[in-house]
Amino acid sequence: MLAEVWHAVPEPLRDPVAFAVPFFVLLVSLEALAAHLLEDEEPAPAAPGGRTRPPRGGYERRDALASIGAGAVSVLTMSVWKGLGLVVFTVLFAYVAPWQLPADAWWTWAIAILGVDFTFYWAHRVAHRVRLVWATHQAHHSSEYYNFATALRQKWNNAHELVFWAPLPLLGLPPALVFFGFSVSLVYQFFVHTERVDRLWRPVELVFNTPSHHRVHHGSDPEYLDRNYGGILIVWDRLFGTFTPERHRPTYGLTVPVGSTNLLHIQTHEYAAIVRDVRRAPTLRDKLGYVFGPPGWRPVTAALAETPTSA
């Protein structure tokens, strides 16, 4: 039944993301209008450390346009990566998988969505803990605003996610359903990028990723860093020890603000920083640390040199 309904939909609309685009545009427009009509004239209180931050639910034209532009380009780049992944996944599914799950069974679709969500958690966690991968993911965190437009500020390189999805066709999931599950995850996560929604019903907050949980993930505050990686479900964070509840309004953006709305700079500045650090590193060990260590990693000698001595 599901397969019949799916094939009855025109080909361009079979990707849930393509189907959802008009709703994304509508909701960004409505939220921006609300920000214009409801925004406080008084500036928001400064974040800890004196860093300024925008009003709750605020919009800034250049920032929003940068987010929308990044999303538009990501549609093209992601299509290329997904096309390459589809070739590899089809080979794994057809020639390596010990069995093949039926594409027309509802439970195969459910397994695909759940499996993608589980692998997304680990891919997302790696993206925050390996600097080379963080270099592409950081673009999504670069805005100091938190709104529906920020949800569209997507990375242009999702190659590492393909590696984490590879076990799914190996376990017999049809490749098309793997990509369908990822699209469902992307659509769901659009709706958690807002400050207009407070906490939801407690059972929902217990199981699902919500605006409150994801606001924590976008916070640059020390207590919020590298927390709440979940896509659709927050249970993975609860199970694997990375969950933190929202205790105060986060300070959004990177720990060191990118300071630009230039699309190319937003997407590439961390790669440039890695190149500079690697060139300066005196040993191979240090060079590898700058590439594969966590963001902010420094050699022990450099870290000690940066630590102020007591008087």
Evaluate whether 127 touches 160 at the Cβ level (below 8 Å).
Answer: yes
Asked whether residue 107 carries a pLDDT value surpassing 60, the answer given is: yes
Q: Write the pLDDT tens digit of every residue in 275-302.
A: 999 999 999 999 999 999 999 999 976 6
Evaluate whether 44 touches 55 at the Cβ level (below 8 Å).
Answer: yes
What amino acid is encoded at 293 in this protein?
G
**CA nearest to 59, candidates 31, 91, 81:** 31
Query: What is the pLDDT, as a whole number, of residue 43?
Result: 55
Confidence of residue 145 (pLDDT cuts 50, 70, 90): very high
Evaluate whether 78 touches 152 at the Cβ level (below 8 Å).
Answer: no
Query: What is the pLDDT, as a whole number, of residue 302?
Result: 60
Q: Write the pLDDT tens digit of every residue in 217-243.
A: 999 999 999 999 999 999 999 999 999
Confidence of residue 308 (pLDDT cuts 50, 70, 90): very low
Evaluate whether 180 touches 112 at the Cβ level (below 8 Å).
Answer: yes
C-alpha 59/C-alpha 68 separation (Å) is: 12
User: pTM here?
Assistant: 0.89
C-alpha 168/C-alpha 310 separation (Å) is: 54
Asked whether residue 271 carries a pLDDT value surpassing 60, the answer given is: yes
C-alpha 61/C-alpha 129 separation (Å) is: 31
Handedness of CA 261, 266, 268, 270 (dihedral sign): positive
Asked whether residue 173 carries a pLDDT value surpassing 50, the answer given is: yes
Compute the average pLDDT of residues 34-58: 72
Asked whether residue 16 carries a pLDDT value surpassing 90, the answer given is: no
Question: In degrees rounded to 5, what are phi and psi of residue 3?
Answer: -65, -40
Burial class (CB in 10 A: 0-12, 13-18, 19+), 249: middle
Compute the average pLDDT of residues 117-144: 97
Cα separation of the two ends of the chain? 74
All residues at 6 or more sequence positions from 31 whose CB lies less than 8 Å from its CB, including other chains: 57, 59, 147, 148, 149, 194, 196
Asked whether residue 309 carries a pLDDT value surpassing 60, the answer given is: no
C-alpha 68/C-alpha 31 separation (Å) is: 14
